[in-house]
A and B are shown apart, each in its own frame.
Chain A
Amino acid sequence: MNKKIKLLAEKSPLTYKVLNKCSKSKARKGVMMLRETKPVETPVFMPVGTQGTLKGVLVDQLKVDDMNCQIMLGNTYHLGLRPGTEILQKAGGLHNFMGWDRALLTDSGGFQMVSLLELAEITEEGVKFKSPFDGSESMLTPEESINIQNTIGADIIMQLDDVVKTTTTGPRVEEAMLRTIRWIDRCLEANNRNDDQSIFPIVQGGLNPELRKQCAEALTERNVRGYAVGGLSGGESKNDFWKIVSLSTDKLPADKPRYLMGVGFAADLVVCVALGIDMFDCVFPTRTARFGCALVRTGQLNLKHKTFEVDLSPIDDKCKCSTCKSYTRAFIHAISNDLMMCSLITIHNVSFQLQLMRDIREAIEKDEFPEFVKTFFDDLYPDTKPEWIVDALKSVNIEIQ
């Protein structure tokens, strides 16, 4: 290959490389190179900064060595409303607007519309909705979603998909899956910044394995740089959940990153990494922090509870986050009516998620992932382990019983 072509190839806005594979399960460690931002190591958890900020946290706090957050998520629906595309355009995109020079991912806005707005209606053209401010009718088409995401300027952007509740059955599920495939083509066509923003298509198909397979296969034919698995984590049984995840990773190409949308409980992260997922996002760690809940490997602590009034240990004595370095559980308990509580626990919870992913990556690199998984679940469930976790891990040759 001559030098010029090689340089051009390197200029792809997203290149993904698997660095290590677990010798038993489908877990893999990899690295995503994104244009003009630092590399993102996978498996990765992406904290959610819905409106262009993580609640009560400075971007500099996310960049300190012990935290080292490499990618964050923003919500297109919220950002499109406020500050709106006009201001984001003037600011030169969300990176500039919020002062974040690392990677960003935005969703399509469709999911929020369907879940937040009662009157949203999905047609072939797009998602029809009433403005929450003035009640006027508008339409979010696949093209419009990509337009907005082009203005926001995240490194990874998501296709508009037709989301149905996971518990939906019947022809609606198939309709949504087929429409999602039709919409990815419209999204790819509409992308004006294909050379610096990568669209991920989304595998849909509810809990029906056949539909999921069909969707994954169809999406694989498109020229894209990564894939997402959507429509899960919405109240379906865990037994159905893991099977669909596993089936989807089987069908998706091994040389591209796979993103499982909306999943972020520690146990789910560990299981789904074993099933071959590389990227996750979830509001849970940051949302629960606002209610005084801190995450630890054995579950979570509600620091507002009286039991912590005189507990002079840090949230987790092994944790390296700035909260655990400086403050005790008793202190956080004592300030649970003050603004600082949210900031302190958010920092810890995000750090908890990122540290878990770091430990996972390290275990995969040393090919000790199955042992890691066993220890992790022994700590989390010292007595009986949930059946679905045992089954899911058994399916990828990891025994934890």
Chain B
Amino acid sequence: MTKFVVESVSKYGGRIGLIKNVERLPDKTFKTPMLLYLHPQLSREVLELSGFELSKDFAISLPVSNVEQMEKPLEISGKGISDFWALKESLTFCSLKNGSIFSPSASQDKDSVPIYRKSERLNITPQRYMKMMEVFKPDFYTTLADGDSFKDCPKRRVAKASEKSRRFYEESVQLKKSSAVLKNSFMIGTIVGGFNEFERRKIVEEMNKKSEDVDGYFIDGLHRNGHEAAEIDVTSLKEIVSSTIAQLPQEKLKVMSGAYLPNVTLELIAQGIDLFDSSLVNLVTNANRAMVFNFNINKPAKLFPEIDLLDSKYKDDFKPFLEGCSCLACRKHTRAYTNHLLTTHELLGPMLLTIHNLHHYREFFATIRNAIASDKLKELTELISEQYQEAEGKLYYERKIDNKPGKYKENLIAKDFI
């Protein structure tokens, strides 16, 4: 069965881990810290032509809120969801929500967590969720939890979310044990509770009672996805993550989801988070921008981290997004062409941006792994932080809400939400 082992811990922060013995992919080893390609919208052919080595170390994340409708066909086919997606050699992760899409607070009930598809509310219970995991057959998945909380969330909401999630966790463990398909699966316990250490501790204590029941931890409920993660208060984030991690068994996998900026991601990695998703790639792409931040510590030039390709100053700029970048978009196309595609709302525009941004972010993660292995995470963090400090307040991420639950205002809390 799938195993996670910590290979080395750098005294300068961060650790290298290995995911191996994956039942579907017995010959492969995946190195952490790792980036999961979230809800892939580039087809297999596009990924291959763009030079992504699918057979090597590709990993994807498929949120239930995007793929719930696939349960029926997959039940009939009997194959897993990565096969359906034509990415069967990719390590496949499932969780409840898409970290790149802002998910406004919704009214809650005791026995389920809502997701929205085409404005339709679906109440997901632990039974339904685990049934989907049986059908989707991901290589690892998080347990269902109520992560609908954020920085200044009312205390009562956090308490209710935490109580519900504890119940869901227990149910998930039972469901897993009694399922022939999931018995040996890699299950990641979801820890919620907003920024409330007390509530988080309660759920962690529940998990620690029988720590062999769970193979890793998903630190959730800190933001409602989308722009909220990119704009999160870093000091309080670091505090709550560090206090949570301190209570967890060190050797197990730690996962976080959402569009944390690269400097924040590095802080989280330094604390021992192993797995992230590509939410930020989607946010930057939705803002019509290309990531160009420099992560080369041997040539520590400081760049403004993103360029806005919709800006008319690029309309006759025939350079690549980033000089020296080896992605398909930079090798074969120009800023000017992309500016034209974005101006005319051509689908190829966001495609080229996704190709570049995903490539850049995956390269960034490869650099992080090298930096940890060579005890240079600190230098890398400094280089990245300086570039993002420079950009503070200048990078705006669109409030993208795909599944609108009726009318919505930014911080509106539904009456029956608490």
Residue ID in chain B nearest A343 by CB atoms = B43
A78→B340 CA distance, assembly (Å) = 11
CB pair A347 B45 closer than 8 Å:
yes
- Report B81-117 CB contacts with A as 1/0, cut-off 8 Å: 0001110000000000000000000000000000000
Given A82-B344, A97-B337, A309-B72, the answer on whether A326 and B318 have CB atoms closer than 8 Å is no
Q: Is A119 an interface residue (CB 8 A)?
A: no
CB pair B347 A56 closer than 8 Å:
yes
Contacts of B332 in A (CB 8 A): 59-60, 99
Q: Is B19 an interface residue (CB 8 A)?
A: no
Q: Which of A322-360 contact B (CB under 8 A)?
A: 322-323, 326-328, 330-331, 333-334, 337-340, 342-344, 347
Q: Which of A36-72 contact B (CB under 8 A)?
A: 51-61, 64
Contacts of B333 in A (CB 8 A): 99
Contact of A339 among B73, B118, B347 (CB under 8 A): B347
Contacts of B76 in A (CB 8 A): 310, 312
Residue ID in chain B nearest A346 by CB atoms = B347
Looking at A83-91, A150-158, A211-219, A361-369, the stretch in contact with chain B turns out to be A83-91
Q: Is B55 an interface residue (CB 8 A)?
A: no
CB pair B73 A326 closer than 8 Å:
no
CB distance from A106 to the nearest CB of B (A): 16
A-B contact number at CB 8 A: 113
CB distance from B49 to the nearest CB of A (A): 5
Contacts of B401 in A (CB 8 A): none
CB pair B42 A340 closer than 8 Å:
yes
Contacts of B50 in A (CB 8 A): 58
CB pair B44 A326 closer than 8 Å:
yes
Residue ID in chain A nearest B343 by CB atoms = A82
CB pair A331 B84 closer than 8 Å:
yes
Q: Is A98 an interface residue (CB 8 A)?
A: yes
A60→B49 CA distance, assembly (Å) = 7
CB pair A51 B340 closer than 8 Å:
yes
Q: Is B398 an interface residue (CB 8 A)?
A: no
Q: Is B328 an interface residue (CB 8 A)?
A: yes
Contacts of B328 in A (CB 8 A): 58, 60
Q: Give me the interface of B with A, judged by CB distance under 8 Å.
A: 40-46, 49-50, 66-67, 69-70, 72-73, 76-77, 84-86, 118, 315-316, 318, 328, 332-334, 336-337, 339-341, 343-344, 346-348, 350-351
Other A-B pairs beyond A53-B346, A330-B84, A343-B351, 15, CB < 8 Å? A51-B346, A54-B348, A55-B348, A56-B348, A61-B46, A64-B49, A83-B336, A87-B316, A91-B334, A309-B73, A330-B77, A331-B85, A334-B69, A338-B66, A343-B46
